[in-house]
Amino acid sequence: MMNKILALAEKYKDFTANNLSELIRAKSLSSEEKDVAVVLKKQMVDAGFDEVFIDGLGNVIGRIGNGKKILAFDGHIDTVDMGNSANWTFDPLGGEIKDGFVHGRGTVDQKGGPAAFITSGRILKEIGFDNDATIYYVGSVMEEDCDGLCWKYIIEEDKIVPQTVISTEPTNLNLYRGHRGRMEIEISFKGISSHGSAPERGKNAVYMASHVCLDIEKLNERLGFDEFLGKGSVTISEFVSGSPSLCAVADYAKIHLDRRLTWGETKESAMAEVNKLIDGIDAKAEVLYYHGKAYTGLNYGMEKYYPTWKIEESHHAVQTGVKAYEQLFAKKPVIDKWTFSTNGVTINGIYGIPVIGFGPGNEVLAHAPNEKVPVEDLKVASAFYAKYALLF
């Protein structure tokens, strides 16, 4: 069976690459995934999936099997925008297949994963998958704007609750078992305006915020550290201020914090640190809330707190991945973590469902110009996904 999987992954290598090329040509920013969803659904149908549907949020969900155990593969089909076109040496929406790579925005982050899991489903159908398991293949939406929102909908509204989820985010074909969490915090400062010719009569919100900004820089240096996930971090990503005029003292300022949470750090602990910095100042700190409108027209949202998560290396979800990799490729996988955040923040961080990661492409190309993924990576991933499903 192992040799059959490898042979079919090789046989369908061009099929996988061409499917990915087609997905790349369908531009799909967050909340604008309709075109790529239509393409992905057709690809699942053409691959022989038992059922394919699009849910109320716009997630494309394919199914193979109808057993008691539930395994899901997740890959988001939205992408960030192209950025400065002058930084690209090829058309980011061209989907060109050349020199052993598929080129374009989303090849790594992260349409390569769905292209590979479609092929894995085709492989399972061809070899006659009959395990007592149900395998879901999810092309999820809105991840770039609000990671995990899609799975909140899948679990709470679609009522699909897997025993294990494999994220197909890029891992450079390594096996990942966690990453830092994150949260978005806004601090607003209330000043008192006065004429700019007499600033002593007012209370400058910009000065208030600036002192706190310097304290946040120092806070970043003393945040916690985890041996596996690394150090927590905080940075200021936006500073906004306002006043009655450019000849007046600023009576309002706002800063936006990107807070990355290592193991042991929580929403409560992070907010306590920030509130300590603004104690005695006319300022307010709050965790932001995401309000989004899906391409289906549905309004859906969640708090912008995305919990830290990790799975122990001894966990059966990880060890099944190790076994699948070793049986296919006769070597041990590298076990590591993501630098960035994924839908795992909700799947495991909120709902406690075991998650591992295995995906084509190198994450250093995520959100970068000249994004491309090796066709060989797509082949390896499709074989791994099929083997994992058989061992599940």
Phi, psi (rounded to 5 degrees) for 285: -110, 140
**Residue that is written with structure tokens 């919100």 in the block:** 205
Rg (CA), the chain: 23
Is the CA virtual torsion 259, 336, 379, 347 positive or negative? negative
Partner residues linked to 110 by β-bridges: none
Collect all residues with Cβ–Cβ distance below 8 Å to 178 and sequence separation of at least 6.
228, 229, 308, 309, 310, 311, 337, 338, 344
Distance CA 219, CA 80 (A): 30
Q: What is the DSSP pairing of strand 51-54 with strand 230-231?
A: unpaired
Q: What is the DSSP pairing of strand 283-287 with strand 309-310?
A: unpaired
Partner residues linked to 183 by β-bridges: 259, 305
Just list the catalytic residues.
Answer: 78, 143
